[in-house]
Amino acid sequence: MQTGLDLLSKRGHPALKGKRVGLIVHQASVDGQLRHAVDLLRNRKDFRVAALFAPEHGFYGDLQDQVPVDGARDPRTGLPVFSLYGPRRQPTAPMLKGLDALVFDLQDIGVRYYTFIWTMALALEAAAKTGITFVVLDRPNPLGGAVEGNLPDPAYASFVGLYPLPVRHGKTVGELAVYFNKKYQWGADLHVVKMKGWKRSMRFDETGLPWVMPSPNMPTLDTATVYAGMCLLEATNLSEGRGTTRPFEIAGAPFIDGHRLARALEKKNLPGVAFRPLAFRPTFNKWANQTCGGVQLHVTNFKTFKSFLTGLIFLQTVQELHPRRFKWNPPPYEYETVKRPIDILCGTDRIRKSIDAGDNLFNLSKTWPPALKSFRF
């Protein structure tokens, strides 16, 4: 199959002809032969690449989560690099001065709180306001078309959920761009270079494309598979495995007995996943250089596995076992300074309150599908 970048690099696009272009790219913006978008596009004759824009983790993907990205000049190409992750996360008029178009080519992973889709939404809105062309080079949703989770309350909008989407949204970045532009009536001059040979049923390992880490703690498709649920640990005092070689697949804390936790989780009869007890020592982030007890998630059936529900039940189980040691983290988190991190990740405070009350989360999850009927496009 071929991505939007593969096709643009071969054919060009009439919407870009003769224009000065800004590229919104990162380290995973590569074609099927691992050639980077900047190298493929900056010497084209039909348009000129004049600027680069960097999302969370930076242009080279070397920054950890929630670290502000500084503006700079790329030493290899000499192009200016503007930050889209920091106090300002939307392109400003000075950044866009002299540009006729923006080209977006970031690899998303299909989860609401992965920030690249919100970088796209803000950039698309800015393009609409300034009257410049916006081109999305579409890429696969690594998780395929599976949809899971709740639709968030707009009152809990943040940079991990600017607009209501399911936790696993099942769409590509190109499809989301079209949806946002129509839903919110931005009126952008939007063009999507669609993929060739992609089917919604495909997981990333079925595409034949090389996996390039879209962020420092997303090393494999296995990581992306569990991320929708295990990212929720960022909102707690539990380690989500950052500082190990298996972030989000490994989780725990020094006060946890991994064997006891694994037994308790297995009793929940969660579909498509097994829990293996282990000990680990993160090299950075929470509980750095301390031995933690915990588990590793092993997904045994991708089709039945419910990542978001698994993450919620993981948190509730730890809270049941360690009611005095488990903690919800206070703000700030992802530029939200008032609402709790768990509430903006979930897009509601109801889920946190249900966990605290010991409610049946399987029953809670059954209330989500009716709302998802409105999420069709």
In a domain, 66, yes or no: yes
CATH number of the domain bearing residue 77 = 3.40.50.12170
User: What average pLDDT does this structure show over 34-63?
Assistant: 96
Same domain, 148 and 243: no
CA pair distance 177, 135, nearest whole angstrom: 9
181 and 283, same domain (yes or no): no
User: Which residue did the predictor score with more confidence, 66 or 181?
Assistant: 181
What is the extent of the structural domain holding 319? 221-372
Structural contact between residues 336 and 345, judged by C-beta atoms closer than 8 angstroms:
no
pLDDT interval class at 81 (50, 70, 90): very high
- Mean pLDDT score, 223-248: 98
Shared-domain flag, residues 92 and 30: yes
Based on the fold, state whether residues 161 and 233 are members of the same structural domain.
Answer: no
Residues 18 and 100 placed together within one structural domain of the fold: yes
For residues 113 and 159, give the distance between their C-alpha atoms in angstroms, rounded to a whole number. Answer: 8
Domain boundary among 149, 171, 206: 206
Residue 238's domain is classified under what CATH number?
3.90.1150.140
The tokens describing 16, both together, are 């870009």
Domain boundary among 172, 206, 240: 206
List, in sequence order, every residue forming a beta bridge with 295; answer none if it has no partner. Answer: 251, 277
Indicate the residue type of 216: P
225 and 190 within one domain: no
Total domains in the chain come to 2
Q: Are residues 166 and 225 located together in one domain of the fold? A: no
Name the pLDDT band for 314 (thresholds 50, 70, 90): very high
Residue 212 in any domain: the answer is no
Distances (CA, A) of 135 to 15, 23, 279: 8, 10, 46
**192 plus 157 within the same structural domain:** yes
In a domain, 377, yes or no: no
Q: Give the chain's largest Cα–Cα span.
A: 64
Q: Residue 53's closest CA among 34, 71, 76? A: 71
245 within a domain of the structure (yes/no): yes
pLDDT at 241 over 90: yes
Residues 196 and 111 both lie in one domain = yes
pLDDT in tens, 132-172: 999 999 999 999 999 999 999 999 999 999 999 999 999 99
Tens of pLDDT, residues 134-143: 999 999 999 9
Determine, yes or no, domain membership for 128: yes
pLDDT at 264 over 90: yes
| 164 plus 279 within the same structural domain | no
Q: What is the mean pLDDT of the chain?
A: 97
Q: Each residue of 96-128: pLDDT tens digit?
A: 999 999 999 999 999 999 999 999 999 999 999
Which pTM does this prediction carry? Answer: 0.96
Instruction: Provide the edge-to-edge strand list for the sheet that holds 273-280.
Output: 250-253, 292-299, 273-280
Residue 376, pLDDT above cutoff 80: no
pLDDT band of 268, cuts 50, 70, 90: very high
Is there a single domain that holds both residue 189 and residue 80? yes
Is residue 374 predicted with pLDDT exceeding 80? no
pLDDT digits (tens, 9 = 90+) for 3-17: 999 999 999 999 999
- DSSP labels for 317-372? HHHHH-TTT--BPPSPBTTBSSS-HHHHHHTSSHHHHHHHHT--HHHHHTTHHHHH
Give yes or no for a cis peptide into 80 (omega within 30° of 0): no
Predicted confidence at residue 205, as pLDDT, reads 97
Pairwise CA distance, residues 213 & 223, whole Å = 10
Last residue of a domain, one of 206, 230, 249: 206
Give the count of alpha carbons within 13 A of 361, CB side only: 25
Provide the pLDDT for residue 377.
Answer: 62
Whether the CB-CB separation of 257 and 271 falls below 8 Å is answered with: no
Do 197 and 50 share a structural domain? Answer: yes
Percentage with pLDDT > 70 across the chain:
99
Can you give the pLDDT at residue 372? 85
Inter-residue contact 265 to 253 (CB < 8 Å): no
